Structure 1
Amino acid sequence: MVGAEFQDKNFEQDILKNVEIKNLLNSLEEGAFVVDKDENLVFYNDAAPVILKINLNEFLYKNIKHTYYFDNLFKNQQIPEYIRNLASGCKISNICYLEGKDHYFENEKIDLFSDLGEIKGALYLVRDITKEIQLEISLSNEIKTDNLSGLYNSRFFREELDKEISRCSRYGHDLSILFIDINNFKYLNDTLGHQAGDEIIKFTGESLKNAIRKNVDTAFRYGGDEFTVILPNTPAKRSTIVANRILFNFDNGFNEKLKMLMSDENFNEKLDNFTLNNDGKSKKIGLSIGISGFKKGKKADEIIEEADIAMYRAKRG
């Protein structure tokens, strides 16, 4: 295909009359576009409109870099941006929103020459790589995620904290972290069993996620029954608002959560006002939260240690 020679002065007619080339392009699984040297669309194969989910006939003999046609035909879609990226030789376009789903595309541009070595046009090959990208995202999330709580893990916490500290050092933004521990979790685990303990870990994760700002703050399971939250652009004083929301979420749903897990008829005797009673012992279940704010020159370990100390101070009451 790349070595094909076009002797006719009319590049469009060269393509349309060359049955061999048309059949070859139509046999491809990738979408294929042929444009002349002025980037006017002169041919597309059968797969192209299927992959892009558009009627490409509307664009024949029009310049694919001319946004007027695309912007008027796809006012509420990102296809115009994709077509422009395609024409600029971008390998993977910006994400496109097609039929209610996100799609990623890989594309390649191949210049087409005349027998005299002059560029007559170009062939664009387009492939939908959405499944591959989604798999990469899924595998990446698995590496960063704690399976039990559904939160990010401690390794990713350190990576994100280092990034935020670097950003704050550079731009002078505020930063706070929360260090959170479930009070008497071991006693709860030993009394009600590991399955109940696992459910409380999940419930704590939900309490954190529902208390923080989506796409701004980030919650992590630090390990065991300990959790952390990174609060960008948030001074330590304001982070108490988030801490109180977390406490409210946990306290508001804890009794009901345990009631679902326990089939014991004596539930109310065993759990009274967040106090777990068993074999004559009583332990209060709840969260302790420590807060630490970033100051210039502080390192990640110092911020974590300060929040950890503040958490134990809160635990002691």
Structure 2
Amino acid sequence: MELRKQRRSDPLTLSEAKDLASEIHGSLGIEEILRRCRRVLSTRFTVGRLTLVQHRETEFIATRFTVNEDADAPLVGPEVIPLEQSRLQQCLAERRKIVAQIGNRSQQDNLERRYFTGQVPTTLAYLPLSHKEKNKGILVVGFPDGLLLGETEDEFLDYLTDQLALAIENSDRYYQERRRRRQLSLVSDIAKQAVLLEDVEAFLAEAVRFLREGFDYHAVQIWYLEQTQERLLLRASAAQVPQPRGPEARPSPMVEDCWRQGQVLWSNNLLTDARYGFAREGSASQLTVPIRLRSRLLGVLSIESSRLDSFGRDDLEAMEGLASLIAATFDNLRLFADVQQSNEFMQAILHSAHELVIMSTDTNGYVITASAGTRQVLELSPQEVIGRDILTLFDSARLQREISLYMSNPGVGSLERSHVPQQRGESHAHIDLTLQRVFDTGKNPIGFLCIARDVTENVRLHETLEALSITDELTGIYNQRRLFAALGAEIERTRRFQKSLSLVFFDLDGFKKFNDTFGHLRGDEILKDVANLLLGIVRANVDTCFRYGGDEFSIIMPETGPENARAVAERIRIQVSERFEGKITASIGIAEWTEGLDAHALIEKADKAMYKAKTDGRNCVHLSA
């Protein structure tokens, strides 16, 4: 097959690397991430079909997401594809890059013919994606004009796949965190409806609607036993497409098994599940949970999703708790119609809410009822809470003032606060809180309803993700993203106080050859050693070290002139050379900030000085003019 030269073959510049990373990490959705990846590739290559393949470790199948040549075409997938003998299977097994030049259709394997190539002749690149030794998938890219893989192209694709793997990992974390927050919010919303609604059908309809819309499920159903005919009857349903209602509605095989066995059942791949292969159109995963009350089986909660692998252990636990809440609410609403009955129904909910604080107060703010969740969230039993002024239950002085002001102002409908600090023993916690007024049937105020939940883990996860986003995961020092923000702030401080500022920028001579000879694991150890070496030389709490990317490092040196910076750079150069016995050295550039330079311009100035050091013979320091 004849290969034509691509549009770009020049090395990846610092500015391009920054723009590439910014583009890839500009979204947390898989579809947009893939479209951004395609746009980045198109700056250097003629790109055909682009496909992300994610392997299911215990199955002989994989899931594909495809962006076709037409930029406006919708995403294809998720779609299950078989794993037969193919270059894809070889890439998954060997975890290495594979480039196949395909001149005609006879040179394609079955998977390429069906899924990966839009036209021939073409070149297909299979690019493994991994993050912290976790397999994030295979990126399969078609190049209709062929692909000449030189050192520059190889470096570009390696950098792109590293950024894409990290973007997919961040997408997965964001999705899990978002689901967890939605679960907590959903329980709170349904608990509110349980308190406010008096009609059982209205409550069930609201429960399935909240659940379907909150998680974008394909269908949510509540089935209850029809006593006279001893069969399951559909009591509530919310779905993306219309479904049969009434006597003609029939439960799925999984719903029937869940009812007969009285246990949670689920399948994360209905498309290949021999037991529950039934799936209404558009459903790919299904979860069924028994609805019980005091050991009595009342019905089944069924949830269907259009996504594969939709249900994890957290989902099972959350939905079991929700089924208990539905059972308690259904039973109480069905049996009681007056205020006395409503009080018993409220108590059933309060006893079920182990992870949620639900309190009612009188008009003066003294607690009348409290859920079991006070033990976990406030470290007080319901009995210890009842009778106390609600203000005394929270540590935040600011929150206490806001609650007091809200209660004294009848014109304000509700009070909602997030991430409020709360002391828990010797540790610090955070809670989300909602406070709203309660009225009787005559619209007269009779008290307040307070709902609080522990969001400490959410806050910690957010802080962890924030720290990860500015820290280089390999070396532990700051990354490129942090460099631009920190340098911009330091320039502003230097300008304001009229101090000096130097930026040191260097890369490692001979590193790529070492990496290719001894492997990436040995190369990673070199990078860690260099980072530790820098931390031992620079001024603690004054100078800041960064890994810019690959084997490039930089140091911000506040209140430091160029000659002093040169002295530090010489120490770095000497110690790097000694540490690695001259096999790896450092070419170092130094740039002094002057009026008119922003962060990008100062980095570019230091980068040019570094390249001048390289042209001067490497293993030397060059001070920018």
Q: Verify same fold: TM over 0.5.
A: yes
Counterparts of residues 256-267 of structure 1 (less than 5 Å) = none
Cα distance in 2 between the residues matched to 1:191 and 1:160? 36
One-letter identity of the residue aligned with 1:20: F
What is the match of residue 127 of structure 1? 453
What is the number of equivalent residue pairs in this alignment?
Answer: 268
Do structure 1's residue 302 and structure 2's residue 601 form an aligned pair?
yes
Unaligned runs of 5+ in 2: 1-194, 199-338, 407-414
Distance of aligned partners of 1:25 and 1:228 in 2 relative to their CA distance in 1, 3 Å threshold: same
User: Conserved in 2, the CA contact under 8 Å of 1:218 and 1:229?
Assistant: yes
Do structure 1's residue 201 and structure 2's residue 527 form an aligned pair?
yes
Distance of aligned partners of 1:19 and 1:180 in 2 relative to their CA distance in 1, 3 Å threshold: same
Distance of aligned partners of 1:86 and 1:22 in 2 relative to their CA distance in 1, 3 Å threshold: farther
Q: Give how far 1:286 is off.
A: 5.0
User: Conserved in 1, the CA contact under 8 Å of 2:480 and 2:548?
Assistant: yes
Do structure 1's residue 223 and structure 2's residue 549 form an aligned pair?
yes
Counterparts of residues 62-141 of structure 1 (less than 5 Å) = 62-65=388-391, 79-80=395-396, 84=400, 87=403, 89-96=415-422, 98=424, 103-141=429-467
Q: Give how far 1:238 is off.
A: 10
User: Conserved in 2, the CA contact under 8 Å of 1:104 and 1:130?
Assistant: yes
Distance of aligned partners of 1:38 and 1:315 in 2 relative to their CA distance in 1, 3 Å threshold: farther
Cα distance in 2 between the residues matched to 1:118 and 1:296? 67
Cα distance in 2 between the residues matched to 1:245 and 1:38? 68
TM-score, length of structure 1 as denominator length: 0.62
What is the match of residue 266 of structure 1? none
Cα distance in 2 between the residues matched to 1:37 and 1:295? 65
Cα distance in 1 between the residues matched to 2:347 and 2:362? 15
What is the match of residue 39 of structure 1? 365
User: Conserved in 1, the CA contact under 8 Å of 2:534 and 2:545?
Assistant: yes
Q: Give how far 1:36 is off.
A: 3.0
TM-score, length of structure 2 as denominator length: 0.35
Residue deviations 1:199-226, cap 9 Å, x none?
0102223344565656x86543212211
Q: Give how far 1:131 is off.
A: 3.4
Distance of aligned partners of 1:290 and 1:30 in 2 relative to their CA distance in 1, 3 Å threshold: same
Unaligned runs of 5+ in 1: 5-13, 71-78, 255-271, 277-282
Cα distance in 2 between the residues matched to 1:35 and 1:245? 67
Distance of aligned partners of 1:149 and 1:219 in 2 relative to their CA distance in 1, 3 Å threshold: same
Counterparts of residues 167-178 of structure 1 (less than 5 Å) = 167-168=492-493, 177-178=503-504
Cα distance in 2 between the residues matched to 1:51 and 1:180? 51
What is the match of residue 476 of structure 2? 150
Do structure 1's residue 316 and structure 2's residue 620 form an aligned pair?
yes
One-letter identity of the residue aligned with 1:84: Q
- Correspondence for 1:18 among 331, 334, 343: 343
Residue deviations 1:237-284, cap 9 Å, x none?
49958x849957x94xx7xxxxxxxxxxxxxxxxx94463xxxxxx36
One-letter identity of the residue aligned with 2:505: F
Distance of aligned partners of 1:127 and 1:206 in 2 relative to their CA distance in 1, 3 Å threshold: farther
Cα distance in 2 between the residues matched to 1:146 and 1:152? 5
Q: Give how far 1:54 is off.
A: 4.2
Counterparts of residues 38-57 of structure 1 (less than 5 Å) = 38-54=364-380
One-letter identity of the residue aligned with 2:453: R
Q: Give how far 1:198 is off.
A: 1.4
- Correspondence for 1:179 among 505, 510, 526: 505
Greater Cα shift, 152-161 or 21-30: 152-161
Q: Give how far 1:132 is off.
A: 3.6
Do structure 1's residue 2 and structure 2's residue 327 form an aligned pair?
no
Cα distance in 1 between the residues matched to 2:417 and 2:515? 52
Q: Give how far 1:304 is off.
A: 0.8
Q: Give how far 1:299 is off.
A: 1.5
One-letter identity of the residue aligned with 2:417: K
Cα distance in 1 between the residues matched to 2:563 and 2:431? 41
**More relative contact order, 1 or 2 (CA 8 Å, 6+ apart):** 1
Q: Secondary structure at the match of 2:364?
A: coil
Distance of aligned partners of 1:101 and 1:151 in 2 relative to their CA distance in 1, 3 Å threshold: farther
One-letter identity of the residue aligned with 1:205: A
Distance of aligned partners of 1:58 and 1:20 in 2 relative to their CA distance in 1, 3 Å threshold: closer
Cα distance in 1 between the residues matched to 2:422 and 2:563? 37
Q: Secondary structure at the match of 1:104?
A: strand
Q: Give how far 1:49 is off.
A: 2.2
User: Conserved in 2, the CA contact under 8 Å of 1:146 and 1:152?
Assistant: yes
Greater Cα shift, 184-193 or 201-210: 184-193
